[in-house]
């Protein structure tokens, strides 16, 4: 009991906030995976992103926190919700039941991984590690911009190629669905023997986007 | 270089010269990647400009890009050979012989994939220029991976490669198998990236740096200063090894490979089994040998180094891959399991950890490229009209219909089986001999297991030969779907497989040069030094 009270008295406000946001992040991310309704999952994801952003602030990464809120919680999740609503996705029926036996492997494996990571952090006496000096200026926009274009230039450029590739890949996969529809239409109406090829104008537009 | 309140003038006067220096460095070091990226964008523009019936133009543009990329890689090797290794871009990027050789493999893999894709895509009626652009984007990732000198740049390069390949696997419209394969590959690939990233974060947390050179110094120091940290580093290294095993498809982390290989369009399967595999091995060597080299053997008593886990992985991958391949009826699936087994063989070079082992690893990957591309090119030629052509029974009577093709396929199968006088034998010989050379009892036993596995694998490789020569022809089967590019790939691969088998010295010399800068394992074995001098890899320099 004494150890617990002395531990609690050693905590600062920062610790309390960390635990609060960490618990919210874990709980809401569990909710993301366990919800049957995609809409609820998407909304739970907002909470995950927001609490992660709060933890970024505690780590003195203010810029990252702001970006996290604006881009993820703001833009991307809103897009998710729009898509879910437009497509009128229903709650998915549980098809995972046929993998029921796998749960007996999955849960112990997850436990082993968790306990391994927990033990590693708990028993490693991390105080001997000298933490990198994080000043209040570390997470500002200026500092990040400077790092991005000097020290981290290569990863930054590689990431930009990656994002460009991701746009092309998304277009390839998304326009494929349209082709399948065309083929299905051709099968249903035998008069149209060949599936219509994508129009050239359409292709031009795709590249302008990328 | 922080921007003070004094205004733009100070900023410009400091930032512009350093930016110019940085750009010059990028030009000197990363020219091949820049060329391939530019041609990927060019392929997109051609795909947009050319009509739906002229999409192949994008393929030709991409081929030009790979050719220029290869020229750039070779010219860097020749022009800057004396100044290598060059580390630049704030320590993120390293150019040495190892990186250049793997960049060359990536570019060649891309060129071959494009060459064997053209006719295939026409047969599948899905020829679109974006396909070639995606192959080139994946290639940029494959070229950045072996040059990674930092966990961050390695990870982004890996993801660039992986994401492109996920899309390529799911490229075939309306083919359920292709969609399923892409989904499985994506989910397991994302999961394995997560495992890898978790390992990286733990290791970074202890070392305080993501630079590989810093890791090699800081990790053993941290452990010797505080013995308790061995647990944290151990979990991090275990996660890294597991993530890397996923990427090279070493059993038991290979479950994605058979489905992804079977469902993907066959040229993409070839690309995965050659290009992605080579780049993944480059990643593994960079992280394990360059970054975690000092943790190879036990640092703290009672805790094994990573050599134990990699050795077990190699043994399991060889055995599991070969035994599972015995029961397969689908040729792509069979080659997927054979690729798992080959990952196991290649890991032997890392386990041996001596000069000969590293040379053998590089050599094995080089010859594997030739043999595997040849085999897949023949498989692609069998895909014609309404025939899927990916079962072993599709090879029946091939010797009667296409004797040249059947003969070359026999060469590739003998090569993959490691039977002399093919290149596969030279590669396996180096890997096994490297294990024996260490003199370690367990490693010699591992070499024996590898020999047994080679014998097992000969059975299923010879199944193809039996089907081609001994079994009756399918009545009325149409001719093969070949193209000039595909024929060139088959012939060149066949000639290389035989030529390297008969006269391996040039390839051994190049592989030895590429492997020369990899840090050998510091072993207590007294015979190591004398044996190293006798190794042909060292002699060739």
pLDDT at B23: 79
User: 3-class SS at B391?
Assistant: strand
Q: Does B255 touch chain A (CB under 8 A)?
A: no
* Whole-number percent of chain B with pLDDT over 90: 45
**Is the pLDDT at B462 greater than 60, yes or no?**
yes
**Is the pLDDT at B163 greater than 60, yes or no?**
yes
> Residues 72 to 111 of A: which have CB under 8 A from any B CB?
none
User: Which chain B residue lies closest to A121 (C-alpha atoms)?
Assistant: B232
Q: How confident is the model at residue A52 (pLDDT cuts 50, 70, 90)?
A: very high
Please say whether the beta carbons of B105 and B275 come within 8 A.
yes
Contacts B48 to A, Cβ<8 Å: 203-204, 206-207
pLDDT at A134: 57
Q: Does B45 touch chain A (CB under 8 A)?
A: yes
Contacts B41 to A, Cβ<8 Å: 164
Which one has a higher pLDDT value, B299 or A207? B299
Contacts A165 to B, Cβ<8 Å: 40, 134, 137, 160, 163-164
Which one has a higher pLDDT value, B37 or B535? B37
CB atoms B44 and A168 under 8 Å? yes
Alpha helices in B87-211 (DSSP H): 97-124, 129-144, 151-169, 176-207
Which one has a higher pLDDT value, B384 or A17? A17
Averaged pLDDT, B440-449:
89
Averaged pLDDT, B108-136:
88
CB atoms B90 and A153 under 8 Å? yes
Q: Which residues pair with B95 in a beta bridge?
A: B86
pLDDT at B159: 95
pLDDT at A189: 53
Choose among B1, B51, B156: nearest Cβ to A162: B156
**CA nearest B255: which of B311, B190, B185?**
B185
Q: Count contacts between A and B (CB, < 8 Å).
A: 138
Q: Does A196 touch chain B (CB under 8 A)?
A: no
Distance between CA atoms of A210 and B45, rounded to whole angstroms? 10
Which H or E element spans position B414? helix B403-417
Q: Number of H helices and number of E strands within chain B?
A: 22, 2
DSSP characters for B194-256?
A: HHHHHHHHHHHHHHS--BHHHHHHHHHHHHHH-TTHHHHHHHHHHHHHHHHHHHHT-TTS-TH
- Residues 6 or more apart from B323 whose CB is under 8 A from it? B456
**CA nearest B434: which of B305, B327, B345, B332?**
B345
Distance between CA atoms of B317 and B295, rounded to whole angstroms? 22
Please say whether the beta carbons of B141 and B158 come within 8 A.
yes
Name the minimum distance, in Å, from the CA of A201 to any CA of chain B.
9
**Is the pLDDT at B541 greater than 70, yes or no?**
no
Choose among A165, A200, A207: nearest Cβ to B163: A165
Q: How confident is the model at residue A205 (pLDDT cuts 50, 70, 90)?
A: very low
ipTM value of the model? Answer: 0.85
Contacts B130 to A, Cβ<8 Å: 168, 171-172
Q: Which residues pair with B150 in a beta bridge?
A: B211
Contacts A198 to B, Cβ<8 Å: 52
Q: Which of A8-22, B1-15, B291-305, B387-401 has the lowest mean pLDDT?
A: B1-15
Q: Which of A1-10, B194-203, B223-232 tops mean pLDDT?
A: B194-203
Q: Does A33 touch chain B (CB under 8 A)?
A: no
Residue B422: both structure tokens together: 């093919």
User: Which chain A residue lies closest to B182 (C-alpha atoms)?
Assistant: A173
CB atoms A146 and B1 under 8 Å? yes
Q: A139-197, pLDDT tens digit by residue?
A: 788 888 888 888 888 899 899 999 999 999 988 888 755 555 555 555 555 444 444 44
CB atoms A162 and B160 under 8 Å? yes
CB atoms A120 and B208 under 8 Å? no
Please say whether the beta carbons of B107 and B76 come within 8 A.
no
Q: Which of A131, A165, A178 is most worth mutating to test chain B (most B CB atoms within 10 A of its CB)?
A: A165
Choose among B37, B164, B229: nearest Cβ to A169: B164
Instruction: Name the packing angle between helices B505-515 and B97-124 (round to 10°).
Output: 120
Residue A108: both structure tokens together: 């112990």
Name the minimum distance, in Å, from the CA of A6 to any CA of chain B.
24
Q: Does A202 touch chain B (CB under 8 A)?
A: no
Q: How confident is the model at residue B317 (pLDDT cuts 50, 70, 90)?
A: very high
Averaged pLDDT, B419-428:
89
Q: How confident is the model at residue B187 (pLDDT cuts 50, 70, 90)?
A: very high
Contacts B153 to A, Cβ<8 Å: 154-155, 158
Strand B86-88, strand B93-95: pairing: antiparallel
Please say whether the beta carbons of B37 and A168 come within 8 A.
no
Please say whether the beta carbons of B441 and B365 come within 8 A.
no
Contacts B202 to A, Cβ<8 Å: 117, 120
**CA nearest B361: which of B314, B426, B427?**
B427
pLDDT at A179: 55
Please say whether the beta carbons of B330 and B262 come within 8 A.
yes
Contacts B235 to A, Cβ<8 Å: 116-117, 120
> Residues 389 to 428 of B: which have CB under 8 A from any A CB?
none
Mean of pLDDT over chain B: 86
Q: Domain limits of chain B?
A: 306-533
Q: Which of A16-30, A129-143, B46-60 has the lowest mean pLDDT?
A: A129-143
> How far is residue B49 CA from its own chain's centroid?
33
Q: Does B195 touch chain A (CB under 8 A)?
A: no
Q: How many CB atoms lie within 10 A of CB A106?
A: 11
> Residues 113 to 152 of A: which have CB under 8 A from any B CB?
116-117, 119-121, 123-126, 128-130, 132, 142-143, 146, 149-152
Q: Does A36 touch chain B (CB under 8 A)?
A: no
CB atoms A168 and B18 under 8 Å? no
Distance between CA atoms of A65 and A186, rounded to whole angstroms? 50
Name the minimum distance, in Å, from the CA of B249 to any CA of chain A.
20
The full length of chain A comes to: 210
pLDDT at B244: 94
**Is the pLDDT at A62 greater than 50, yes or no?**
yes
Q: Which residues pair with B86 in a beta bridge?
A: B95
Round the CA-based radius of gyration of chain A to a whole number and report it: 24
Name the minimum distance, in Å, from the CA of B412 to any CA of chain A.
33
Q: Which residues pair with B387 in a beta bridge?
A: B384
Please say whether the beta carbons of B416 and B409 come within 8 A.
no
Averaged pLDDT, B455-461:
91
Name the minimum distance, in Å, from the CA of A17 to any CA of chain B.
22
Averaged pLDDT, B271-285:
94
Q: Which of A59-68, B36-45, B119-128 has the lowest mean pLDDT?
A: B119-128
Averaged pLDDT, A118-132:
73
pLDDT at B539: 35
pLDDT at A95: 57
CB atoms A172 and B171 under 8 Å? yes
Exposed, middle or buried: residue B514 (CB in 10 Å: 0-12, 13-18, 19+)? buried
pLDDT at B441: 86
**Is the pLDDT at B351 greater than 50, yes or no?**
yes
**CA nearest B499: which of B416, B411, B404?**
B411
Contacts B3 to A, Cβ<8 Å: 142, 146
Mean of pLDDT over chain A: 77
**Is the pLDDT at B214 greater than 70, yes or no?**
yes
Averaged pLDDT, B353-362:
90
User: 3-class SS at A189?
Assistant: coil
CB atoms B137 and A164 under 8 Å? yes
Q: Number of H helices and number of E strands within chain A?
A: 9, 0
Q: B485-522, pLDDT tens digit by residue?
A: 888 999 999 999 999 988 988 889 988 888 888 877 76
Averaged pLDDT, B348-358:
89
Q: Which of B3-7, B215-219, B222-226, B242-246 tops mean pLDDT?
A: B242-246
């Amino acid at each position: 009991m004494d150890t617990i009270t002395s531990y609690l008295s050693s905590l600062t406000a920062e610790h309390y906030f960390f635990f609060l946001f960490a618990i919210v992040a874990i709980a809401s991310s569990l909710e993301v995976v366990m919800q049957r309704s995609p809409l609820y999952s998407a909304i739970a994801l907002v909470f995950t992103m927001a609490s992660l952003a709060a933890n970024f602030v505690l780590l003195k990464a203010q810029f990252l926190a702001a970006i996290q809120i604006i881009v993820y919680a703001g833009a991307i999740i809103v897009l998710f919700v729009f898509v879910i609503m437009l497509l009128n996705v229903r709650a998915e029926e549980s098809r995972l039941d046929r993998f029921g036996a796998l749960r007996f492997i999955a849960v112990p494996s997850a436990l082993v991984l968790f306990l391994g990571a927990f033990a590693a952090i708990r028993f490693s006496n991390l105080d001997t590690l000298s933490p990198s000096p994080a000043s209040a200026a570390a997470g500002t926009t200026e500092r990040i911009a400077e790092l991005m274009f000097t020290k981290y230039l290569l990863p930054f450029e590689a990431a930009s190629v990656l994002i460009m590739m991701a746009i092309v890949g998304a277009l390839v996969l998304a326009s494929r669905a349209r082709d399948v529809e065309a083929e299905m239409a051709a099968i249903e109406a035998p008069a149209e023997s060949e599936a219509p090829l994508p129009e050239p104008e359409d292709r031009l537009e795709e590249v302008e986007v990328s | 270089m922080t921007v003070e309140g004094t205004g733009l003038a100070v900023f410009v006067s400091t930032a512009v010269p350093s930016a110019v220096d940085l750009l010059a460095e990028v030009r000197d070091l990363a020219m091949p990647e820049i060329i391939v990226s530019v041609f990927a964008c060019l392929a997109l523009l051609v795909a947009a400009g050319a009509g739906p019936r002229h999409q192949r133009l994008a393929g030709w543009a991409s081929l030009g890009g790979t050719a220029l990329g290869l020229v750039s890689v070779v010219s860097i090797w020749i022009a800057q050979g004396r100044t290598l290794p060059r580390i630049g871009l704030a320590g993120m990027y390293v150019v040495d012989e190892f990186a250049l050789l793997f960049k060359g493999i990536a570019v060649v893999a891309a060129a071959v994939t494009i060459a064997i894709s053209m006719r295939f895509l026409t047969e599948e009626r899905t020829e679109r220029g974006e396909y070639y652009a995606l192959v080139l984007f994946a290639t940029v990732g494959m070229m950045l991976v072996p040059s990674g000198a930092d966990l961050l740049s390695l990870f982004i390069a890996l993801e660039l490669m992986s994401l492109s390949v996920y899309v390529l696997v799911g490229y075939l419209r309306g083919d359920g198998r292709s969609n399923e394969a892409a989904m499985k590959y994506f989910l397991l690939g994302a999961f394995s990236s997560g495992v890898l990233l978790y390992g990286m974060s733990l290791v970074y947390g202890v070392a305080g740096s993501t630079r590989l050179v810093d890791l090699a110094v800081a990790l053993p120091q941290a452990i010797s200063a505080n013995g308790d940290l061995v647990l944290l580093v151990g979990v991090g290294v275990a996660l890294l090894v597991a993530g890397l095993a996923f990427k090279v498809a070493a059993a038991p982390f290979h479950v994605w490979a058979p489905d992804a290989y079977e469902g993907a369009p066959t040229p993409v399967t070839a690309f995965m089994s050659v290009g992605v595999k080579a780049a993944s091995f480059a990643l593994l060597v960079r992280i394990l040998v360059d970054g975690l080299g000092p943790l190879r053997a036990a640092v703290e008593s009672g805790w094994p180094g990573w050599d134990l886990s990699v050795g077990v992985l190699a043994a399991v991958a060889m055995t599991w891959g070969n035994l599972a391949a015995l029961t397969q009826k689908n040729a792509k699936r069979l080659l997927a399991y054979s690729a798992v087994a080959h990952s196991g063989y290649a890991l032997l070079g890392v386990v041996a950890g001596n000069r000969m082992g590293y040379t053998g690893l590089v050599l094995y990957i080089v010859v594997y490229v030739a043999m595997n591309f040849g085999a897949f090119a023949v498989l692609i030629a069998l895909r014609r009209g309404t025939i899927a052509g990916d079962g072993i029974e599709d090879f029946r009577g091939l010797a009667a219909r296409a004797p040249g093709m059947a003969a070359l396929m026999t060469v590739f199968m003998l090569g993959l089986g490691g039977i002399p006088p093919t290149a596969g034998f030279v590669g396996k010989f180096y890997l096994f001999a490297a294990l024996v050379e260490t003199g370690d009892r367990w490693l010699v036993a591992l070499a024996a297991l590898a020999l047994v596995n080679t014998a097992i694998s000969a059975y299923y490789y010879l199944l193809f030969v039996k089907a081609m020569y001994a079994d009756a022809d399918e009545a009325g089967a149409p001719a093969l779907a070949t193209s000039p590019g595909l024929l060139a790939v088959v012939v060149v691969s066949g000639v290389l497989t035989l030529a390297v088998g008969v006269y391996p010295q040039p390839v051994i010399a190049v592989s030895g040069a590429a492997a020369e800068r990899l840090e050998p394992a510091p072993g207590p074995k007294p015979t190591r030094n004398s044996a190293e001098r006798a190794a042909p890899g060292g002699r060739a320099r």
